[in-house]
Amino acid sequence: MTQKTDNRDRTFDDLTICRCEGVTRGQLKACIHHSGARTINQVKKLTRAGMGPCQGRTCARSVEIILTTEAKTPAGVEPYQSRPPVRGIPVSTLAMGSDQFHEPTGPVSVAMTRTPDPEIPSKQIHKIK
Amino acid sequence: MTDSLRLIKHPVLDASLENRRTVTISVDGKTISVFEGESLAAALWAEGVISLGHNPNTGSNRGLYCGIGHCYECRVTVDGVQDVRSCLTPVREGMRVTLQKAEIETGTDHGH
Amino acid sequence: METSDVVVIGAGIVGSSTAYYLAKAGVEVTLIDRRAPIAGGTATQACAGGVRQQGREPLEIPLAIYSINLWTSLEAELEADLCYRQDGMTVVTDDETCIPALEQRVKREQSLGLNIQLVQGSELHDLIAGLSPHILAGSYLSTDGHADPLRTVNAFVDAARRRGARFKWQCPAEGFVINNDKITAVKTRHGNIGCRFAILSAGFWSRAIAASLDLELPFQFFPLQMMVTAGRPPVLDQVLGWLGHGISLKQVPSGGFVIGGGWPGHANPQNYSTRLLPGSMAKSAQTTIDLFPSLAAVPIVRAWVGIEAFCEDEMQIVGPLRSPAGLILATGFSGHGFAIGPGVGSLLAEYVTTGQLSDMIKPFGIERFSKRSEEQSQ
């Protein structure tokens, strides 16, 4: 038989909210109160909640609710910025057929990666106009 | 095979093992026999392999959770490919499965 | 009317660091932003997090050295985890014909005080395991590194707050009040803020604010795309760049590989909306495998775009204007403002409190553009 636990004195700050990244309710509260995070995206960027393998599928709603109760602001004001790709894509899969894309012809040329000597040919570099 | 952990009777789906072929897979080098048509997660669970790895941040055990490919808790390495969702992967003859070991190493700072 | 000795416009890396160093010096400062820190779509967002001294215009290197020195104690000073690692950076080449030029840059940077070395062949491959075998040589600087831009901005804002700085979010700057050719207030959508100094550090959006003074900031915006992989056990300590190719590669403490390299995406600076360019993802992915083959099987979990402001000469515009007095520009960092953000903030605070402008900042005044066009028209 399972023992009944008395939850009256628990703060639940040790509850794991973002399971992938191991972010607890206490850590989320600290982010909201000490760092002044007011949107779900700020919380994500500062705690890593929502950045793990499931990309916030499990925790986003819980984080929103904690944000609303702790920050007393409507969390739904700014939607969770879900980023492409929908699911992880291996680098090699993304790279397939890369030479068939017409745009871009190359990266924006930046000083660091530009070959130092203008006489030496650079591959596929866009000079900033 | 550990039949006691395997679902063999279901009111709607045909879960009986009578006409099911067996398939041999290896898990961390150990060969086991499972049934064709099972998901890898179900097959591992039936064989008593409940922990499929560890959470790299907390070190706690992880395993089958949502069962529908949503949560990534069931991820294992299959034939060298990491992060395969075992709940969505049917077993295949000769499949080589590696369970991810605890990934907490010195030098990675997970303290946030 | 609300007043503040200094108003800093734009809470990115430069604005937040400037607000902090001013507050630390006891100056009354208000930091304002159209939205809120780390809101997304901006240069801070596009930032790959590199904290480097090498590969910069020679005029920038003293500032970079000064700033990296601040970085080494920044986490302690801001009492925050910035995920800062100083484990080195190497810019490599697989092209024999590039090696002499690489060597030349190394020598030039050594003369400017950097302990940078050319490393070749097996020595290079021993130094950095996992490099593609066709990589021949690289410029290695052990004091370069990387950090987390979002946490850094947040830490500067927090530390500034603890030292008395004030903030106004969702508060776009719209212009300035000028009396006798001197700034007396910043105009915002929510009222004017009287001030002695205004510091314009609003990235690409500085352009529109400067236009209210008929001041043209000669930059354009580039939306740059970034990608990050799923976490893996640590295999790469250094930051990698590749001459002639679009890639910056680093593995961050949480295990993911952050991949940049100047690949363009789509963005609208009016509403911060961004869209990925699939061709950039594909080519960036191919470049990644060409440089570091073991990443082929690792999944990309996120890609995003941020708007960077590039000056025509790819150097930032920093310094006080002569007219109107009191306006200080600190913008247009052309994709390399993160490492020097703390340095710029610190030196601008010094200017505000002492009236002395550091030699490390002087090369970046906006006057260089009119000098150049004068020279060209002669």
Q: What is the DSSP string of B6-70?
A: S----SSS----TTPPEEEEEETTEEEEEETT-BHHHHHHHTT----EE-TTT--EE---SSSSS
A41 three-class SS: helix
Residue C104's CB is within 10 A of a number of other CB atoms, namely: 13
Q: pLDDT per residue over A90-115, tens digit each? A: 999 999 989 899 888 888 876 556 65
What is the DSSP annotation of C298-334? SEEEEEEEEEEEEETTS--EEEE-SSSBTEEEEE--T
Residue A86 forms part of a structural domain: no
**How many domains does chain A divide into?**
1
Q: Are C225 and C277 in contact (CB under 8 A)?
A: yes
Question: For residue C61, which of C110, C104, C102 has the smallest C-alpha distance?
Answer: C110
Task: Give me the residue from A36, A91, A109 closest to C298, CB to CB.
Answer: A91
Delineate the domains of chain C, giving CATH numbers in brackets.
Answer: 2-50+149-219+313-377 (3.50.50.60), 85-144+221-308 (3.30.9.10)
A111: chain C residues, CB-CB within 8 Å: 55-57, 314, 336
Which residues of chain B are within 8 Å of residue A52 when distances are taken between CB atoms? 72
Q: What fold, for B3-98? A: Ubiquitin-like (UB roll) (3.10.20)
Q: Is residue A67 part of a domain?
A: yes
How many angstroms away from the CA of C38 is the closest CA of chain B? 17
Indicate the DSSP class of residue C218. -
CATH number of the structural domain spanning residue A71: 1.10.10
Give the residue with greater pLDDT, C271 vs A79: C271
Cα–Cα distance for residue pair A99/C37, rounded to 1 Å? 38
Find which of B52, B55, B64, B72 to mutate to test the A interface (most A CBs within 10 Å of its CB).
B72
**Which tokens hold the place of A53?**
């393998």
Q: What is the pTM (predicted TM-score) of this model?
A: 0.87
Contacts of C332 (CB under 8 A, 6+ apart): C203, C206, C217, C219, C309, C310, C311, C316, C317
Residue A119 lies in a domain: no
| Ramachandran region, residue B89 (left: φ > 0; alpha: ψ -120 to 50; beta: rest) | beta
Phi and psi at C341, nearest 5°, equal -55, -50
Question: Which residues of chain C have a CB within 8 Å of the CB of A116?
Answer: 98, 101-102, 104-105, 243
Residues 10-69 of A with CB under 8 A from C: 21, 34-36, 38-39, 41-42, 45-46, 48, 51-53, 55
Q: In chain A, which residue ranges form alpha helices assigned H by DSSP?
A: 25-34, 40-47, 60-71, 91-95
**Nearest chain C residue (CA) to A101:** C279
pLDDT tens-digit map of B12-31: 988 888 888 999 999 999 99
Structural domain boundaries enclosing A32: 16-77
Q: Which residue has the tokens 């636990």?
A: A5
CA distance C231 to B56: 9
Answer for the pair C255, C233: CB distance below 8 angstroms, yes or no.
yes
Q: What angle do CA C248, C63, C99 make, to 5 degrees?
A: 45
Radius of gyration of chain A (CA): 23
* Domain map (residue ranges) of chain B: 3-98
- The H or E element containing residue C175 is strand C173-179
Specify if A59 maps to a domain. Answer: yes
Residue pLDDT tens, chain C, 378 long: 899 999 999 999 999 999 999 999 999 999 999 988 887 778 888 899 999 999 999 999 999 999 999 999 999 999 999 999 999 999 999 999 999 999 999 999 999 999 999 999 999 999 999 999 999 999 999 999 999 999 999 999 999 999 999 999 989 999 999 999 999 999 999 999 999 999 999 999 999 999 999 999 998 888 999 999 998 999 999 999 999 899 999 999 999 999 999 999 999 988 888 899 999 999 999 999 999 999 999 999 999 999 999 998 889 999 999 999 999 999 999 999 999 999 999 999 999 999 999 999 999 999 998 876 666 665
Contact C296, C285 (CB under 8 A): no
Considering the domain boundaries, does residue A95 fall inside one? no
| CB atoms A113 and C37 under 8 Å | no
Chain B residues within an 8 Å CB radius of A47: 112
Q: Tell me which chain C residues have a C-beta less than 8 angstroms from the C-beta of A87.
A: 299
Residue A111 touches chain C, beta carbons under 8 Å: yes
Q: Where are the alpha helices (DSSP H) in chain C?
A: 13-24, 43-46, 61-71, 74-78, 99-111, 121-127, 149-162, 206-211, 278-291, 341-354, 367-377
Does A22 map to a domain? yes
Domain presence at residue A31: yes
